[in-house]
Structure 1
Amino acid sequence: MTTTLQIPIFPLGTVLYPDGRLPLRIFEPRYVDMTKACLRDDAPFGVALIRAGFEVGRPAIPCEIGCTARIAEWQVPSPGLFTIVAQGVSPFRIVDRRTQQDGLIVADVELRDPPAPTPLPKAQAPLGSLLLKLIEDLGAERFPQPQRLDDADWVAYRLAEVLPIVPERQQALLELPDPLQRLAAVERALQELRDT
């Protein structure tokens, strides 16, 4: 059964994945109000890669596929400024969107059903080992807990977050419906990086 929600959309120049952590500085009034409402109502918002436009100023056009987010940490260092850490929850597809008078985009979205847990295949075990090394090198605090190094989707998403690939390619990984397809695409991206 498809779950539909109405949520505010935060178009950004980056891609958020399920379980991913995204630090944000929020200062534009429309997003400050959105943050206050999400905190007050314990409600999610949507993060979507910008298809056209910019993060600041006039409302950007978001990609159709994004990821819902919940505010995991927040501070108010000064009036009108939030620093938050958003945590990705579930991919969604925008069904309909409209822009409010204040410039905030609100959308009706369909949540994508989470895939069945998929063990990391033996052939891709080196990807799990690479991710473990990256976690040790970059610091475990940069990665969601608990670590699931035996889960194909978790490994694919975490590698996609840290690989030096363009946002459009990160977006294409989010749009893939199958964990093994995503893992294979990450493996191809790694091979291309090694070959350059």
Structure 2
Amino acid sequence: MDMLSAILTVLKWRTGLFVCLLLCLCHIELSEAQFRKSPKDDYAVLGGTAKFACAIRRVRYGKGEVSWNYKVAGVAGKQNISSEYLLYPSLDRDRRMRYSIVGNRSRGEYDLQITNVRDTDEATYECVYYQGNADPGLIVNRRRSALLAIGRSPDPGYPLCSMSPSTGVSPLMNITFTCITKGGAPMGKVRWYSGTKWIGKWGLTEQ
């Protein structure tokens, strides 16, 4: 009987430990918000529209808040954009006219949309989930960020292309075509075509 009691005691102890671990894992899972979608680095052209995705799987209890901010390279500090779906009053008037938080609210989507993109919009944008009152002493702060780079056309007059020799061309001659581009963001690449056929696989070099 003593041996049986000992075995039952060990089994109960192990079962209790397993249940305790399971409950702890469930508690952590329910306490911490998760990002279903995160913003990704992107390019936008001047005058175009940029959109950063951010979707939160909220916890089952406690009150949380989703906000956006941005930081311009070389400038100290971050600037607040929104709290939930409302823009901060401190956001400058120009951005208030062009920035908005869109998405399906029932699915926890807080996408940042920027219209009529300008040079000044080039920055790092950050989606933050903050929860401060789920459990006593529990603070959840999760963040995801992405860079918006502004696409620009090449400098005026580019790409600049030439042919050597430029005159006196005859069949079977070796001819060199040169095309140079300058400026623009991201840096452009040149592709060569013969009529409508791309000839980029014909042993051409790129420098």
TM-score (norm. length: structure 2): 0.28
Larger RCO, structure (CA 8 Å, separation 6 or more): 1
Kindly name which structure, 1 or 2, has the bigger radius of gyration based on alpha carbons: 2
TM-score (norm. length: structure 1): 0.29
Q: Which one has the bigger helix percentage?
A: 1
